[in-house]
């Protein structure tokens, strides 16, 4: 199949065919990660810059391993060690990097829309590794791959997502992705953590965790970002945990074979109890494993073929 | 422009060619010990399955079968418009094994180069042999098949099409001329 997108900025502007094609490609790349020699020459001679303006271990490492397994040259730039601290603007930083002729820039930024802004101004491909509270496409794709591997097909499934939705780019990408693939999405969280008009994205909104997870096929718990809003949006972590934490007893409301997902890093005892996080229904580490394969697929697909248009 | 289609092999012809190749593989390797067939996706893997059946019929003992997708090893990433990558499935170790690589049409030899690189990245076989249904010439690399179904001199702008039925068995080989 032909894959036209030159950039991966969000799930919103990908078609169902493109999403399925990315997942199929990732399945094939997954095999490389199980070999003794985990390297293929597919992207030999390509230069990929990991431009991370926000802290990240999982996503950055995952993109780096993905690029290296495809034989691309990977360069890591993090904000704390770059010219950003000296006052350079995003656009100037990007143009300076572009002058060194990279083929792909993978960017994480605290401002929503930062990746779209760069994609309009640069000649190389841009992959969004999380921009503000907007989108985190590679996370939604690895979640979809994990669900598909467990459930066979995403169409017709019920997926519950609970936590701080307002500040979560993971949720937004997941709602777009799961809706496009035909799943029913139920959201749960305290009123202070749910943005107004969430229903318009095509999901059911609950203010009660139990209502959302009843009969769900998949449960996705979100991290309470203690460093940000944890202090002001909820009275206490203990209270949040009591009403919105997933534990052995409320997990029984979901389907017997439901899977428990979390984009990480997890706060044990806050949004998810230790026994659930380590329980047999958890697929959290499979998500991480699939992350490498999905990112290999993204790097490969934006590199290949002659792109007809710019986005 | 109208396309002229010429039948090169019919279903009996394909069948006879594969039977002969199966015998040649067995003769040269003195049986199936340490031998494995690896088909190149997708045409080659269908043919490798058919060859496996024939070898089992002739020899009475099973032979290992794998599938390889060479997309990750190709040299035309930027100009290629079909970006599909299939699964590589080689469920046995390659070390000390004699590998017969199977493909439907041999043309420039670039696919075979990629397949050999892919195999070498996975393990170190004792040797690699090449079985081809149709050799149409125009090699761009020093690659020579060991087992050939049909030698067919072609013009560069002609196409060779191998038809498979719904059970993935090769039915016919056609030459398409513009």
Q: Is the ipTM, as predicted for this complex, more than 0.90?
A: no
Distance from CA of A296 to the nearest CA of B (A): 11
Q: Are the beta carbons of A31 and B85 separated by less than 8 Å?
A: no
Confidence of residue A231 (pLDDT cuts 50, 70, 90): low
State percent of chain A over pLDDT 70: 96
Task: Let me know if residue B81 belongs to a domain.
Answer: no
- The total of other beta-carbon atoms located within 10 Å of residue A65's CB is 17
Give contacts of B89 with chain A, Cβ < 8 Å: 31
Residue for token pair 């003769």: B27
The span from the CA of A72 to the CA of A52, in Å, is 18
Task: Let me know if residue B122 belongs to a domain.
Answer: yes
Q: What confidence tens digit (pLDDT) does each residue in A74-109 have? A: 999 887 777 777 888 888 988 999 999 999 999 999
Comparing A18-32, A53-67, A217-231, B50-64, which segment has the lowest mean pLDDT? A217-231
Three-state SS at B128? strand
Question: What is the per-residue pLDDT for A280?
Answer: 95
Give contacts of A300 with chain B, Cβ < 8 Å: 83, 85
The minimal CB distance from B121 to the residues A3, A40, A303 is found for A40
Q: How many domains does chain B have?
A: 1
CATH number of the domain encompassing residue B114: 3.40.50.2020
Mean pLDDT for A188-207 is 93
φ/ψ (deg, to 5) at A90: -55, -45
Task: Let me know if residue B136 belongs to a domain.
Answer: yes
Q: What confidence tens digit (pLDDT) does each residue in A135-175 have? A: 999 999 999 999 999 999 999 999 999 999 998 999 999 99
Token readout for B29 is 């390797």
Question: What is the per-residue pLDDT for A227?
Answer: 66
Which chain A residue is nearest to residue B84, measuring alpha carbons?
A1
Q: Are the beta carbons of A40 and B84 separated by less than 8 Å?
A: no
Task: Let me know if residue B79 belongs to a domain.
Answer: no
More confident residue, B1 or B51: B51
The minimal CB distance from A42 to the residues B72, B88, B89 is found for B72
pLDDT at A310 over 50: no
- Known catalytic residue: A242? no
Task: Let me know if residue B65 belongs to a domain.
Answer: yes
Structural domain boundaries enclosing B143: 4-73+86-177
pLDDT at A13 over 80: yes
Task: Let me know if residue B59 belongs to a domain.
Answer: yes
Question: What is the per-residue pLDDT for A228?
Answer: 63
Q: What confidence tens digit (pLDDT) does each residue in A272-305 have? A: 999 999 999 999 999 999 999 999 999 999 998 7
Three-state SS at B23? helix
Comparing A19-23, A230-234, A238-242, B113-117, which segment has the lowest mean pLDDT? A230-234
Question: What is the per-residue pLDDT for A311?
Answer: 41
Task: Let me know if residue B155 belongs to a domain.
Answer: yes
Task: Let me know if residue B80 belongs to a domain.
Answer: no
- Known catalytic residue: A59? yes
């Amino acid at each position: 199949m032909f894959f036209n997108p030159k950039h991966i900025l969000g799930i919103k502007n990908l078609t169902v065919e493109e999403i399925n094609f990315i997942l199929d490609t990732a399945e094939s790349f997954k095999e490389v990660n199980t070999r003794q020699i985990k390297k293929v020459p597919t992207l030999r001679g390509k230069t990929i810059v990991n431009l991370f303006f926000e802290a990240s271990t999982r996503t950055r490492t995952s993109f780096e391993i993905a690029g290296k397994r495809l034989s691309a040259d990977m360069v890591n730039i993090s904000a704390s060690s770059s010219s950003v601290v000296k006052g350079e603007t995003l656009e100037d930083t990007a143009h300076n990097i572009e002058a060194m002729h990279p083929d792909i820039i993978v960017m994480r930024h605290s401002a929503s829309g930062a990746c779209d802004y760069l994609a309009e101004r640069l000649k190389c491909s841009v992959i969004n590794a999380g921009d503000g509270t907007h989108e985190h496409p590679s996370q939604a794709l690895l979640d979809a791959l994990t669900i598909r591997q467990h459930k066979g097909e995403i169409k017709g499934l019920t997926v519950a997502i609970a936590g701080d939705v307002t500040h979560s780019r993971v949720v937004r990408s997941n709602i777009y992705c799961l809706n496009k693939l035909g799943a029913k999405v139920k959201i749960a969280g305290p009123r202070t953590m749910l943005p107004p008009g969430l229903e318009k994205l095509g999901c059911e909104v609950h203010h009660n965790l139990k209502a959302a997870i009843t009969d769900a096929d998949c449960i996705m718990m979100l991290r309470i970002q203690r460093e940000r809003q944890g202090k002001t949006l909820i009275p206490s972590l203990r209270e949040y945990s009591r009403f919105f934490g997933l534990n052995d007893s409320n997990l029984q409301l979901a389907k017997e074979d439901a899977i428990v997902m979390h984009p990480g890093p997890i706060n044990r005892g806050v949004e998810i109890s230790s026994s659930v996080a380590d329980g047999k229904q958890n697929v959290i580490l499979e998500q991480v494993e699939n992350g490498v394969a999905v990112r290999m697929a993204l790097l490969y697909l934006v590199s290949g073929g002659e792109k007809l248009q710019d986005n | 422009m109208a396309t002229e289609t010429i039948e090169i092999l019919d279903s009996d012809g394909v069948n006879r060619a594969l039977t002969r190749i199966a015998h040649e593989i067995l003769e040269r390797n003195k049986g199936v010990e340490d031998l494995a067939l690896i088909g190149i996706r997708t045409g080659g893997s269908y043919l490798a399955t058919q060859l496996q059946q024939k070898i089992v019929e002739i020899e009475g003992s099973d032979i290992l079968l794998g599938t390889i997708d060479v997309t990750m090893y190709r040299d035309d990433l930027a100009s290629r418009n079909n970006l599909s990558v299939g699964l590589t499935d080689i469920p046995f170790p390659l070390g000390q094994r004699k590998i017969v690589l199977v493909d439907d049409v041999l043309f420039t030899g670039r696919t075979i180069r990629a397949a050999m690189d892919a195999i070498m990245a996975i393990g170190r076989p004792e040797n690699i042999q090449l079985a081809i249904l149709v050799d149409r010439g125009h090699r761009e690399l020093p690659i020579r098949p060991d087992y050939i179904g049909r030698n067919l001199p072609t013009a560069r702008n002609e196409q060779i099409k191998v038809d498979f039925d719904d059970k993935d068995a090769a039915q016919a080989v056609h030459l398409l001329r513009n």
